[in-house]
Amino acid sequence: MNTLFDKIWDAHVVQQIEDGPTQLYIDRLYCHEVTSPQAFDGLRERGLPCFRPDKVFCMPDHNTPTHDQDKPIEDPVSRKQVDTLARNASDFGLHHFGMMDPRNGIIHVVGPERGLSLPGMTIVCGDSHTSTHGAMGAVAFGIGTSEVEMVLASQCILQAKPKSMRIRIEGSLSAGVTPKDVALFLMSRLTTSGATGYFVEYAGSVVRDMSMEGRLTLCNLSIEMGARGGFIAPDETTFAYLRGREYAPKGKDWDEAVARWRTLRSGDDAVFDKEYVFSAADIEPMVTYGTNPGMGMAVTGTIPSLDSVPDAGRESFSKSLEYMHFNPGQSLLGTPVDYVFLGACTNGRIEDFRAFASIVRGRHKAPGITAWLVPGSWYVAQQIREEHLDEVLEEAGFALRQPGCSACLAMNDDKIPAGCLAVSTSNRNFEGRQGPGSRTVLASPLTAAAAAVTGVITDPRTLL
């Protein structure tokens, strides 16, 4: 029997080009301000309208400042990009959730929370972390600017069909271990190229037990293993999350949709091109020590020795540790931290703020720590206030910022200064990713919170 990926893919095939790619129908296109301007210019040059404007949703996120969003953006490049997206959305009659719109936020947070991303869909965006939406039981993946133009013009895309992989994680996660730790663990085992050419289906008891927020985090990081995307079969957790959302089906349409979504699963005899099985018992709170997300270890572990690294990778391994100011065999526990960042499309949801608050409650921000706590959307900010988490954070010496991609990447005001070390809940730790010369340790919201109140890299389990 076919895999779930086969089922969704095959249902969207318009035609198969002989000895070439598949013409695939796309249910939802998301556009942000960074990768879309040239695509819209291409339509203008060819005199084309947007083929199905009701399927396209636009919002700025990468360049938006996380303070004073009611005022003009000071940075001229960011201001131009945000203004250009608003103009393009208006010119082509597209949905646009601009700054200060209560529906605005990071596009990969807003899509699921508004019920725009639904099971069985094909979803694309000019952003690699589009794989996030796979948590809803959708085939979602990032595309390039020329492909954004293709979808705007035709609601279709030309794609080679990826191979299928299933990763099962069995057992139960122990206290202090989060979905972010699961993703960092998988990357440490499979490396950043271990899933190249594959679409990953996550399964097993650990995945079934995850909340939707946790599943969104896991699928978000699929791209960091080299995968084309990652997804999870929809189940009762998915349906409960979607029920009543703004763009989710209503009434009789809801009942019919859920009946259809229940069929979206891989058959018991489905054959995958590759399968892995991991045990939850092997997963601890994780941190990265290098300059790619696959260079990860348990927070209580030590950086690998040079002898344990294959010859072909030793030069880049050494270069990475030199950049991070770390050494082979070193433990990171107790390493002084300068910045803590909670947010991004990886960990900017309400569950992440609950986790952070659970550690800092009754404690106080450590001296010398700069902490940026950035909700993934205005809706998440509203949830934080409704649950009085803002009061917990303020009492501990923290302040909430306004929604946006923030310090995930150096495209707005929130840049980590050169040489400073940040414990970050975002998705990438490349050289300069958070600012020129910045150093990034990726971790979960619990581990970030532990660093924020102790001032050093700390095992969060000691504070639970």
Query: Residue 166: in which H helix or E strand, if any?
Result: strand 163-170
The CA distance from 337 to 457, in Å, is 7
Please report, to the nearest 10 degrees, the dihedral formed by the alpha carbons of residues 248, 251, 255, 258 taken in order. Answer: 10
| 387 to 320, 390, 452: CA distances (angstroms) | 41, 8, 21
Q: For the residues of 325-345, what is the DSSP string, one character each?
A: T--TT-B-TT-B-SEEEE-HH
Question: Residue 350's closest CA among 316, 375, 319?
Answer: 375
Q: Tell me which CATH code domain 4-161 carries.
A: 3.30.499.10
Amino acid in position 93: G
Question: Closest Cα to residue 366, out of 242, 449, 267, 276?
Answer: 449
pLDDT digits (tens, 9 = 90+) for 269-311: 999 999 999 999 999 999 999 999 999 999 999 999 999 999 9
- C-alpha separations of 441 from 151, 181, 422 in Å: 36, 13, 6
What is the per-residue pLDDT for 112?
Answer: 98
Separation of CA 428 from chain center: 10
Q: What is the DSSP code (8-state) at residue 131?
A: G
Asked if the domains 4-161 and 308-462 are classified in one and the same CATH topology, the answer is yes
Cβ-based neighbour number of residue 413 at 10 Å: 18
**pTM as predicted:** 0.98
From residue 394, give the alpha-carbon distance in Å to each of 36, 93, 298, 365: 38, 41, 30, 10
**Over residues 239-255, mean pLDDT:** 98
Residue 448: the pLDDT is 98
Report which of 134, 179, 171 is spatially closest to residue 4, judged by C-alpha positions.
134
Task: Write down the residue that tokens 């960011």 correspond to.
Answer: 78
Three-state secondary-structure class, residue 301? coil
Q: Report how far residue 89's alpha carbon sits from residue 78's, in angstroms, rounded to the nearest whole number.
A: 17
Extents of the domains making up the chain: 4-161, 308-462
Helix (H, G, I), strand (E, B) or coil at 201: strand
What is the CATH number assigned to the segment(s) 308-462? 3.30.499.10
**Confidence band, pLDDT 50/70/90 cuts, at residue 333:** very high
How far apart CA 84 and CA 75 sit, in angstroms, is 14
User: Is the pLDDT reported for residue 409 higher than 90?
Assistant: yes
What pLDDT band is residue 362 in, cutting at 50, 70 and 90?
Answer: very high
Alpha carbon 348 to chain centroid distance? 9
Provide the pLDDT confidence category of residue 339 given band limits of 50, 70 and 90: very high
42-92, pLDDT tens digit by residue? Answer: 999 999 999 999 999 999 999 999 999 999 999 999 999 999 999 999 999
Q: How far apart are CA 276 and CA 244, in angstroms?
A: 36
Place of tokens 């340790």: 441
Banded model confidence at residue 177, pLDDT cuts 50, 70, 90: very high
